Structure 1
Amino acid sequence: MSKQRKMSPSSFLLLFLTIILCSFNQFVDANHLIQQTCKNCSKNDPNISYKFCTTSFQSDRRSQCAQNLEELGLLSIKITRHNVTNTCDYIKDLLKKKDKDPFIKECLNDCLDVYSDAITTFREAIRDYKAKRYEDCNFKLSSIIDASTTCEDGFKQKNDVTSPLTKRNKNVFQLSAIALSIVNMLNVDKLNDGTL
């Protein structure tokens, strides 16, 4: 019968501290990556707020595992997709309310159409992204930005109407712009590496 070795309290403490330090270092590295990426995104695109960018990534716990720009880029697309899906659900809830003005109802239906199409586009964009077809991914993400502006512009056709989706449309626009900015950075890196 073999004897099982017990871990001494000092060995246990050392192991525990090593795990904590490794986790902390990964957190610090991921945080630095987020800050640097958001700094570059906001510098390259006046539509991107540095604070919005960092807050968006930091609110998603998966960002703390991102080890490079490529992983952060994929996460940015997924965060945007989640936001668009959530917006579709919100629009459906608004459409269930019976007392909607016919014009607003028509605008909401148009928004639901463009955002529903965007969800399908995300599948293709992610496929292109993973295959490093950044120009194709860029094209698809640009169409998602267009969806948010198309939705918002629909409400502006009548002067006395306020869009119930303004904040959500702005968020989708900015999240898409962040993802697009990262894709463009990766594409430039790919061109510079001569891998095209």
Structure 2
Amino acid sequence: MRCLFFITFLVLLHNTMGCNDLIHLSCKKAAASDPNLSYNFCVSSLEAIPKSHGADLEQLVALTLNLTISNATSINSTISKLLLDKKFDKYAKECLQDCLELYSDAVPTLQEAVGAFKAKDYGKANIEISAAMDASSTCEDGFMEKKGEVYPLKRENDNFSQLNVISLAFMNTLGH
């Protein structure tokens, strides 16, 4: 009886470890390929998605792309709220309006990436993800053009950029 319990425990432990091993290994490889990607961010982002547990790499890419779309949608909502805030001057509001447009465009671009990915056209998906990722740097650049301007979307932009890098890195692994 003890032996059966121990074997069952080992099987369960192995299955539980196996579910997250791919996330950890994929995130480790992705972080090693891009100095701007945080291994911890990668792991925590994916482990927060219940469907990621036991997913294969192709499923992880799809989950990451969907997470990135949700993130861009959330950023749009945040920007819309910031545009109503009276503490921002005319310049900051113009920058926020530009950011809103950039992130609004990023959503359908990422949806195109999902379609290309599902069709296994990794080259097109890569191009679409890279194009969407430009929203974060272009948005930030607008604020940085005026000395002393406060950039209110730093954390959101960084997260969006990292999610895109994860998608690209994972997809790159699939393509090879």
TM-score by length of 1: 0.81
In structure 2, relative to structure 1, the CA distance for the partners of 1:70 and 1:157 (3 Å cut) is same
- Would the aligned equivalents of 1:41 and 1:181 in 2 still touch at CA under 8 Å? yes
Does 2:64 align with 1:64? no
Runs of 4+ in 1 over 6 A off after TM superposition: 20-24
Identify the match of residue 99 of structure 2 among 111, 115, 130. 111
Aligned partner of 1:38 in structure 2 is: 27
Could you give the per-residue CA deviations for residues 87-112 of structure 1, whole angstroms, max 9, x where no partner exists? 11110111122342101100000000
Q: Tell me, in whole angstroms, the C-alpha distance in 1 between the residues paired with 2:148 and 2:46.
A: 36
Q: Report the residue type matching 2:72 in the other structure.
A: V
* Per-residue deviation, 1:28: 2.3
In structure 2, relative to structure 1, the CA distance for the partners of 1:37 and 1:159 (3 Å cut) is same
In structure 2, relative to structure 1, the CA distance for the partners of 1:24 and 1:124 (3 Å cut) is farther
Does 2:122 align with 1:134? yes
Q: Tell me, in whole angstroms, the C-alpha distance in 1 between the residues paired with 2:63 and 2:12.
A: 20
* Per-residue deviation, 1:23: 7.3
Q: Report the residue type matching 1:51 in the other structure.
A: N
* Per-residue deviation, 1:21: 8.6
Could you give the per-residue CA deviations for residues 129-177 of structure 1, whole angstroms, max 9, x where no partner exists? 0110000000000012111100111100111111000111111111101
- Would the aligned equivalents of 1:107 and 1:151 in 2 still touch at CA under 8 Å? yes
Point out where structure 1 has 5 or more consecutive residues left out of the alignment: 1-13, 189-196
Aligned partner of 2:163 in structure 1 is: 175
- Would the aligned equivalents of 1:80 and 1:176 in 2 still touch at CA under 8 Å? yes
Identity among equivalent positions (%) equals 41
Which of the pair has more CA radius of gyration? 1
TM-score by length of 2: 0.90
- Would the aligned equivalents of 2:18 and 2:54 in 1 still touch at CA under 8 Å? no
Aligned partner of 1:191 in structure 2 is: none
Point out where structure 2 has 5 or more consecutive residues left out of the alignment: none
Number of matched pairs:
172
